[in-house]
């Protein structure tokens, strides 16, 4: 038998050995029952939230390629001889939508792609922009769609993104995704520890499903453990990056990043007498430009783009138009590896460079955050990133299904028509030596404070477990 799946007897606090000496159980023997009980409760009670997050995440990861097909008319154009000046393309968008205010322009990123002119307009919510797609060769307006975020998500991807983030329930719905992200790393790390701690006859059974297993819980456990092992690192990364967008843990993460000097730098586009500029949250930055329109001398978007390219800000870019007190900001938007995210601020009056920010000069923490968030959003490595996300989400769905199946197979089969699988016996924490209990409790309290929904839900689990234990004890006494 490749994996010893027989129930392990509880290890007593001390075991007599030959000669009368007392052998204390090892650290793992003391922690294993506690980890099993925690993994069981987290798997059973948090898995529904994880299942929704994984299913919606799977659909989101596939939406990038779906957008290219669904919105092909807006995104693609026949290749022409030479592109018109960017100012003429913007003028065509303004003519088609005179009610809108242009906030940013994305010049065509390839010869067969359209230029995207972003507008604020009463037709779309404040957190959205109207993207007008213009043929760069003849200034034909090919259509308009609602756009969201720095990645330019179009309606399909935006809808799936909101489903994944908050179930279209707003701030209340965001609690579901924060709860899932808060527990995902705990479940993944706990599962890793339990999988590595099992006895097995062959080392290969650690990394591939064991052969020769009979159908049932042992076989399901083998698949659950090996797939979980391969997926664990990705799931932990998704949990960490997902928490940066959360309401409560996200605020603590932002504060910690600022204290460690890891805030993402943005070019200072402030003009003389203007208000200081700032950036948005990584991955969901706005484009600015929603204030009063810039008045006075203006070198124009074509000249601003020319100056930016002379500063090395080239390739796929976004040009944020000046507003009252702020100049042009031209920034690279190619997040695929190797990333090109340099940016420059330009005075609209005389074309002077106000500030430059190179990705190479980002603090290390800011670089890691940027790459991690882009990978979570599926843009860091393009199609490969999206396929990896899809594989991770599918693996998560399978892990949950296998976990529930093992729970079902653990149920008592005699005495009751309907019953459920049983967790490890209560009191597992009593087997942990006191010198380990106190630091473990302190770390748990600290993590629970930093990740509030994890701490609150853990307290709820403990309270419910104590209550169920008291009820069970009274029933046993009554019998």
Q: pLDDT per position in the chain (479 positions), as tens?
A: 333 344 444 444 444 444 444 444 577 888 888 888 889 888 888 999 999 999 999 999 999 999 999 999 999 999 999 999 999 999 999 999 999 999 999 999 999 999 999 999 998 999 999 999 999 999 999 999 999 988 899 999 999 999 999 999 999 999 999 999 999 999 999 999 999 998 887 888 899 998 877 778 889 999 999 999 999 999 999 999 999 999 999 999 999 999 998 899 999 999 987 655 544 444 544 454 445 667 778 999 999 999 999 999 999 999 999 999 999 999 999 999 999 999 999 999 999 999 999 999 999 999 999 999 999 999 999 999 999 999 999 999 999 999 999 888 877 655 554 455 566 666 667 777 778 888 889 999 999 999 999 999 999 988 887 887 788 788 878 76
- pTM assigned to the model: 0.86
Torsions phi, psi for 22 (to 5 deg): -110, 125
The percent helix, strand, coil of the chain (3-state, each to 5) is 50, 10, 35
**Residue 143, SS3?**
strand
Terminal-residue alpha carbon distance, the chain = 41
Question: Could you count the other beta carbons within 10 Å of the beta carbon of residue 55?
Answer: 17
The C-alpha angle with vertex 357 and arms to 259 and 375, in degrees rounded to 5, equals 70
Measured between alpha carbons, how far is 448 from 182 in angstroms, rounded to an integer? 10
Handedness of CA 186, 188, 194, 196 (dihedral sign): negative
Q: Identify the CA nearest to 428 among candidates 45, 44, 30.
A: 30
pLDDT at 185: 96
Q: Which candidate, 153, 179, 154, places its Cα nearest to that of 284?
A: 153
The whole-angstrom separation of Cα 125 and Cα 146 is 9
Contacts 24+ apart (CB under 8 A), 260-266: 260/365, 261/363, 261/365, 262/363, 262/364, 262/365, 262/366, 262/369, 263/363, 263/366, 264/362, 264/366, 264/369, 264/370, 265/357, 265/361, 265/362, 265/363, 265/366, 266/343, 266/357
* CA 407/CA 422 separation, integer angstroms: 8
Rounded CA-CA distance 332/339 in Å is 9
């Amino acid at each position: 038998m490749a994996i010893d799946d027989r129930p392990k007897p509880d290890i007593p606090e001390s075991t007599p050995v030959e000669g009368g000496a007392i052998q204390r159980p090892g650290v793992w023997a003391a922690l294993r029952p506690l980890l099993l009980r925690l993994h069981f409760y987290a798997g059973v009670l948090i898995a529904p939230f994880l299942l929704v997050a994984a299913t919606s995440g799977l659909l989101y990861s596939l939406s990038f390629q779906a957008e290219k097909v669904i919105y092909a008319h807006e995104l693609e154009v026949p290749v022409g001889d030479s592109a018109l000046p960017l100012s003429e393309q913007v003028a065509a968008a303004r003519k088609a939508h005179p009610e809108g205010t242009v906030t940013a322009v994305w010049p065509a990123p390839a010869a067969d792609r359209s230029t995207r002119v972003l507008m604020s307009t009463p037709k779309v919510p404040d957190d959205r922009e109207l993207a007008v797609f213009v043929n760069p060769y003849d200034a034909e307006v090919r259509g308009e769609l609602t756009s969201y975020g720095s990645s330019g998500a179009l309606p399909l991807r935006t809808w799936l993104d909101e489903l994944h983030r908050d179930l279209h329930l707003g701030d209340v719905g965001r609690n579901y995704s924060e709860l899932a992200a808060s527990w995902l790393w705990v479940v993944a790390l706990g599962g890793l520890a339990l999988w590595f701690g099992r006895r097995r006859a062959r080392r290969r059974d650690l990394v591939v499903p064991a052969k020769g297993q009979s159908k049932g819980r042992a076989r399901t456990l083998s698949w659950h453990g090996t797939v979980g092992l391969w997926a664990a690192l990705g799931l932990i990364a998704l949990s960490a990056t997902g928490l940066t967008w959360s309401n409560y843990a996200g605020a603590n993460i932002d504060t910690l990043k600022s204290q460690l000097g890891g805030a993402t730098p943005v070019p200072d586009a402030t003009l003389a007498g203007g208000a200081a500029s700032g950036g948005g949250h990584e991955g969901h930055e706005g484009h600015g430009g929603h204030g009063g329109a810039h008045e006075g001398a203006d070198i124009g978007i074509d000249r601003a783009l020319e100056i930016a390219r002379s500063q090395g800000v080239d390739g796929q870019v976004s040009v944020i138009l000046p507003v009252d007190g702020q100049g042009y900001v031209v920034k690279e938007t190619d997040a695929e590896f190797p990333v090109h995210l340099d940016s420059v601020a330009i005075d609209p009056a005389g074309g002077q460079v106000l500030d430059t920010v190179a990705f190479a000069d980002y603090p290390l923490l800011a670089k890691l955050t940027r790459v991690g968030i882009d990978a979570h959003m599926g843009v860091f490595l393009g199609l490969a990133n999206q396929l990896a996300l899809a594989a991770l989400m599918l693996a998560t769905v399978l892990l949950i299904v296998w976990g529930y199946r093992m729970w079902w197979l653990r149920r008592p089969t005699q005495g009751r028509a309907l019953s459920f699988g049983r967790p490890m016996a209560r009191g597992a924490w009593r087997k942990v030596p006191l010198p380990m209990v106190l630091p473990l409790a302190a770390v748990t309290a600290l993590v629970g404070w930093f990740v509030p929904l994890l701490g609150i839900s853990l307290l709820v689990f403990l309270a419910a477990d104590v209550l169920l234990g008291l009820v069970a004890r009274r029933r046993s006494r009554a019998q």
